[in-house]
Amino acid sequence: MKIEINLKIILVLILFLIIKNINTYLIFIIFILIHELAHLLVGICIGGKPRKLTLSPFGASLEFYTYGNNNSFGRILFFLIGPLVNFIIAFLLLNFRINLDKIIFTNLAIGIFNLVPILPLDGGKIVREILKIFFGIEKSNNYTMLISKIILVIISFFYAIIIIKIKNIMVFFLIIYLWYLFIIEERKLCLYNKTAESIKKANI
């Protein structure tokens, strides 16, 4: 499996050093990697072959050559396991009354954030797999992109209010990052639709 590290991480590290909050960012990176490791283990268990792990400034992504098991329920488990592991870590720390507030908050934030139904987050992929059961691949892709865009617009509106109220620049970076991820996913879908359409025409 190939591992790629986006060099923009260095810029983010410098930023957090300047604002004297480097510990928070390092904790975030550690538990993002644990999140992806959970995906990796389940992916291998359902017969998947991992291709690449990419670590970016505000997250990580895991790509497979194939998921092995094309069953939607297996894939839903694959996408669900990452946030679930973050919730389990937070729950265990709370249950044993271990006073590690930053770690608890970070895991809860990662888990909740990834379950937001926006592609390419885990929540968006889970929604797509559920829709695929009822509508097939093509319609599920289009419906999920529409749902993602609507929710992203709503979130952007509320984030704008939050930015004005608390004047936190990190919230601004987060919403920009979400739109960036969505646009990349939208371009992938456009390419997929064009390819599928070309194949249909070739078979007529």
Cα 113 from Cα 132, distance rounded (Å): 23
| Residue 83 tokens, joined | 């946030």
Residue 179: its pLDDT value, please?
86
105-134 tens-digit pLDDT: 889 989 998 999 998 899 999 999 999 888
Residue 99: its pLDDT value, please?
63
Which parts of the chain register pLDDT below 50? none
Residue 37: its pLDDT value, please?
92
32-41 tens-digit pLDDT: 999 999 999 9
Q: Which strands sit side by side in the sheet containing 2-5, from one edge to the other?
A: 2-5, 49-56, 59-66
Q: How far from chain centre, in Å, is Cα 188? A: 16
Do residues 58 and 174 make contact, with C-beta atoms less than 8 angstroms apart? yes
